[in-house]
Amino acid sequence: MAGIKVLSDEEYVKVPGGPYLYVSVGILGPSPYVYNVSIGMRQVTTLLRNSSGPIYATTWDVGSLGLTSNLMKIRSVVKDNMDKFINAWLSVNPK
């Protein structure tokens, strides 16, 4: 819906930097639930001070940690964090 293309495996291997979006949701329960939501853009980078070769690094991220008795709240947090990523992506990739 935001215009961000999801790459097929064949397309992914052709894109420089091999970028991918990492989404992690961790929940500990029973209620009240402790949750951790993490969303990050990872891609191949090179360290200037260490030329041992390219590595994957997180180049953008957002996270949330909280306590709730409502599992739908966690879903809402994931959506809010995804919206933050979409807004950041659109700010550097205007349509």
Q: Which pLDDT does position 22 carry in this prediction?
A: 95
Does 1 have pLDDT greater than 80? no
Tens-place pLDDT, residues 7-58: 899 998 899 999 999 999 999 999 999 999 999 999 998 888 877 778 889 9
User: What is the extent of the structural domain holding 38?
Assistant: 9-92
Tens-place pLDDT, residues 59-75: 999 999 999 999 999 99
Q: Which pLDDT does position 51 carry in this prediction?
A: 73
Q: Which pLDDT does position 30 carry in this prediction?
A: 92
Instruction: Transcribe 10-52 into DSSP letters.
Output: HHHTTSTT--EEEEEEEEE-SSSEEEEEEEEEEEEE--TT--S
Within-domain flag for 4:
no
Within-domain flag for 80:
yes
Within-domain flag for 74:
yes
Within-domain flag for 44:
yes
Higher pLDDT, 38 or 1: 38
User: In the numeric block, which tokens belong to residue 33?
Assistant: 């639930």
Residues near 37 by beta carbon (within 8 Å), at least 6 away in sequence:
24, 25, 26, 63, 64, 65, 74, 77, 78, 81
Does 5 have pLDDT greater than 90? no
User: In the numeric block, which tokens belong to residue 72?
Assistant: 């739908």
Q: pTM above 0.85?
A: no
CA 92/CA 95 separation, integer angstroms:
10
Split into its structural domains, the chain has a count of: 1
Within-domain flag for 3:
no
